Amino acid sequence: MKKTTLSVMAVIMMSSLLAGCGTTTTADSANSNSGSSVKEPSTITIAWLPNNSGDNEKAFRDEFDKVIEKATGKKVENKLTTDYAIAISALESGDAQLGYFGPNEYIVSHAKDPKVIPLVVESGDSGTLNDALYHSRFLVKKGNEDQYKSGDSFDIDNITGKRMSFVSTSSTSGFNMPAAAILGKFTSQDKWKNLTKDNLAQGGSGKFFSQVLFAGSHQLSLVNVLTGKSDVSAVDDLDVAQYVTLSQGKDNEAGAVYTVKQGADAPFNTLAGSQFEIIKSIPVFNTPLEANSSVLSQKTLDAITNALTADETTKDTKIFAPKGAQGSVFVQPHRFLKVDDSWYDPMRKVLGYSK
């Protein structure tokens, strides 16, 4: 991400390229060695990020495990984590054979080892890949939003010198995409022409931010801005959707206001009625189910892919729950679709990676 114009245009291009994406196949050259000679473990382990490791998503994880157990004839267990790096390392090392991480996490892992491949992603509302995306958002506490207005619209022009909450340096929507947007906006200015992503991870005197917090999860990054620990927080839409309702504006657009629900689970159980507002929203490709194909055979990979993309799974309300359901990760009318590595190429351009 060395040129401002490149990063800005890449973000715009990412949205437009989605419209041209169609369903692709799972297998590519990266998993050509995943044949019957692979020595598989007797138990398949799935690593989950902190966002999906809570008790409120246990019913979903258990049902997800059952689908894979039925398809492969193997026992499935979950590796729950409180740290992004631990979860990602488990998949890369083969200690876990499957992982449900963000797209940036996938892109980085695949760059390290092409045998880490995507199997499926969640579709969009259309049931296709055309709208298979979510949003990385800059949020502020309701009441503070006027500081971030540029004329009649919102922008990130005035976030310099603020206290910023990110999720993790590994997080796609909780750090890497917001960082790309900041670099695209500010590196054209003489003062910030040498600004880098690493600089954005450090706060202090003379830095871009006065303070930088890493919350460890999207939920806690949102808590930071609601409780005044941060002025601005990077938070995706998916991981906090079940705790909040849209109160004003259009979903995932600048100016949209959300309110924490009454009876929301922890960590929002003491924050009912608290509100936040979006000042910038960035589209991000949906998260893949990743596999380490060096420790799973092509037969097993195909069995998992076929089971997850089957109509039976799509109709399973414990996996694709009605919108608004508590504790669900996926919602109707979405489904899982096959995908290959090349689908993420537009995001690679935004994030500054090359194949």
Q: Any idea of the CA torsion for 195, 199, 200, 206, to the nearest 10 degrees?
A: -80
Q: How sure is the predictor about 15, in pLDDT bands with cuts at 50, 70 and 90?
A: very low
In the prediction, which pLDDT does 16 show? 39
Domain termination residue (choose one: 269, 285, 301): 285
Q: Work out the average pLDDT over 281-298.
A: 95
Question: What is the percent of the chain where pLDDT is above 70?
Answer: 88
Q: Which residues span the domain enclosing 277?
A: 133-285
Beta-carbon contacts of 60 under 8 Å, excluding residues fewer than 6 positions away, are: 318, 319, 321, 327, 328, 329, 330
* CATH number of the domain within which 189 lies: 3.40.190.10
Residues 294 and 279 in one domain: no
Residues 278 and 147 in one domain: yes
Residues 176 and 219 in one domain: yes
Residue 276: inside a domain, yes or no? yes
Number of domains comprising the chain? 2
Helix (H) or strand (E) holding 291, with range, is strand 288-292
Residue 16: inside a domain, yes or no? no
138, 185 Cβ separation under 8 angstroms: no
Residues 290 and 319 in one domain: yes
Q: Any idea of the CA torsion for 163, 271, 221, 203, to the nearest 10 degrees?
A: 20
Is the per-residue pLDDT at 214 higher than 90?
Answer: yes
Q: How sure is the predictor about 346, in pLDDT bands with cuts at 50, 70 and 90?
A: confident
Q: What is the pTM of this model?
A: 0.71
179, 232 Cβ separation under 8 angstroms: no
AA letter at 254: A
Task: For 24-45, give the DSSP string.
Answer: --S--GGGTT-STTS---SEEE
Indicate the range of 8-12, 30-34, 238-242, 324-328 predicted with least confidence: 8-12
Residues 270 and 320 in one domain: no
Could you tell me which of 184, 119, 199 has the C-alpha nearest to residue 352? 184
Distance between CA atoms of residues 291 and 100, nearest Å: 9
Mean per-residue pLDDT of the chain = 88
Residue 102: inside a domain, yes or no? yes
In the prediction, which pLDDT does 17 show? 39
Residues 50 and 181 in one domain: no
pLDDT in tens, 159-173: 999 999 999 998 989
Q: Work out the average pLDDT over 40-49.
A: 96
Residues 191 and 74 in one domain: no
Residue 34: inside a domain, yes or no? no
CA–CA distance from 96 to each of 60, 138, 291, 329 (Å)? 19, 32, 9, 20
Residue 66: inside a domain, yes or no? yes
Residues 137 and 281 in one domain: yes
Indicate the range of 50-54, 91-95, 264-268 predicted with least confidence: 50-54
Residue 23: inside a domain, yes or no? no
Tokens 């989605």, residue located: 18
Distance between CA atoms of residues 150 and 156, nearest Å: 9
Q: How sure is the predictor about 327, in pLDDT bands with cuts at 50, 70 and 90?
A: low
| 21 vs 205, more confident | 205
Domain termination residue (choose one: 285, 305, 340): 285
Pairing between strand 330-331 and 133-141? unpaired
AA letter at 111: A
Burial class (CB in 10 A: 0-12, 13-18, 19+), 231: buried
Q: How sure is the predictor about 22, in pLDDT bands with cuts at 50, 70 and 90?
A: very low
Residues 111 and 196 in one domain: no
- Phi, psi (5° rounding) for residue 327? 80, 5
Residues 237 and 294 in one domain: no
Residues 63 and 115 in one domain: yes
Residues 298 and 198 in one domain: no
Residue 38: inside a domain, yes or no? no
Q: Work out the average pLDDT over 128-141.
A: 95
Tokens 């994406």, residue located: 21
Distance between CA atoms of residues 190 and 158, nearest Å: 16
Is the per-residue pLDDT at 146 higher than 90?
Answer: yes
Where is mean pLDDT largest: 43-47, 78-82, 128-132, 239-243? 43-47
Is the per-residue pLDDT at 235 higher than 50?
Answer: yes
Domain termination residue (choose one: 236, 263, 285): 285
Is the per-residue pLDDT at 24 higher than 50?
Answer: no
In the prediction, which pLDDT does 193 show? 94
Is the per-residue pLDDT at 202 higher than 50?
Answer: yes
Is the per-residue pLDDT at 97 higher than 70?
Answer: yes
Residue 93: inside a domain, yes or no? yes
